[in-house]
Amino acid sequence: MPLFSPSNPPITHWAGMRVWIIGASSGIGAETARLLAQRGARVALSARRLAALEALHADLDASAREEALVLPLDVTDAAAVESAARHLLSQWQGLDLVLLAAGIYDALRAPVFDAAALPAARAVLEVNLMGTYHVLAALLPHFTRQRRGGIAIISSVAGYSGLPSALAYAHSKAALNNLCEGLYFELRPLGLSVYRICPGFIATAMTAHVDFRMPALLSAQTAAHEIVRALERGEFDIHFPKSFTRFLKLLRCLPRRIYFALLRLGTRQV
């Protein structure tokens, strides 16, 4: 592959593309589902909250609604993910892209962390990390046989370096960042596309109750447009807003003493 060519084949059209969005009940997942449906993609909508999925489905245009599927599931349930994948592949006779947008956050802090906090930490890791593995286990055999298709994983800039109030969340996202690189290295030669998506701060229900400053806050709708544009360009490392995420990438290169000082300034509590 030429050094400066796109990491993945650009997506030139969405009409008729079969896209499974897991975590579609709200936030980035829901807004991306709306946008892709508007552009002609066939969307399958999955999340735990059936009522929210049905509301999203009802909000789609009539033609998109007719093509769309609603598949409620809990990503922490490997059997449920496998069953939903089998149903979807049977209905559509294949899949072109899966977008993993399911994730949860819990403000776990080191000064008050004890045995009572372990269930919350385990829940974050089960959804954010093991949920991803459950989807991969259900779909990778199909994708590798099909020799085409894409896997897009929404991680976070929180995975770039250690952060406060995120003893499980940031670490789960760091693992996803690493996982995406391994997937790309092994799957791209097989004809599969892999996309790592690291948004900055996005205004969603998950971030509504944080008690620190959120620089460069974006709406979920803006995030969806950023993601779709980057998928169309074939980017692997999708991150935004660039003014913020490039600064965070630079911070990773600094000595830790400087990094921690700047982090204290940038995330002082409100």
- Structural domains in the chain? 18-266 (3.40.50.720)
Q: What is the mean pLDDT of residues 88-100?
A: 97
CA distance 251 to 259: 6
Q: What is the structure's pLDDT at 49?
A: 96
Of 176-185, 190-199, 206-215, the poorest mean pLDDT is in 206-215
pLDDT digit string (tens) for 200-215? 988 877 665 665 566 7
Please, what is the average pLDDT of the chain? 93
User: Quick check: 40 pLDDT over 60?
Assistant: yes
Q: E strand or H helix at 11, and its extent?
A: none
Question: What is the C-alpha separation between 266 and 20, in angstroms, rounded?
Answer: 36
Give the CA distances from residue 231 to residues 33, 66, 98, 151, 267, in Å, rounded to whole numbers and listed in that order.
14, 25, 12, 11, 30
Residue 200: strand, helix, or coil: coil
> Can you tell me the mean pLDDT for 90-116?
95
Cα–Cα distance for residue pair 67/18, rounded to 1 Å: 10
User: Residue 241, preceding bond cis, omega within 30 degrees?
Assistant: yes
Q: What pairs with residue 237 in β-bridges? A: 196
Separation of alpha carbons 85 and 83, rounded Å:
5
Which residue type occupies 96?
D
For the cut 80, the answer to whether the pLDDT of residue 269 exceeds it is no
Q: What is the pTM of this model?
A: 0.92
- Mode of pairing for the β-strands spanning 18-22 and 42-46: parallel
Tell me what pLDDT residue 270 has. Answer: 43
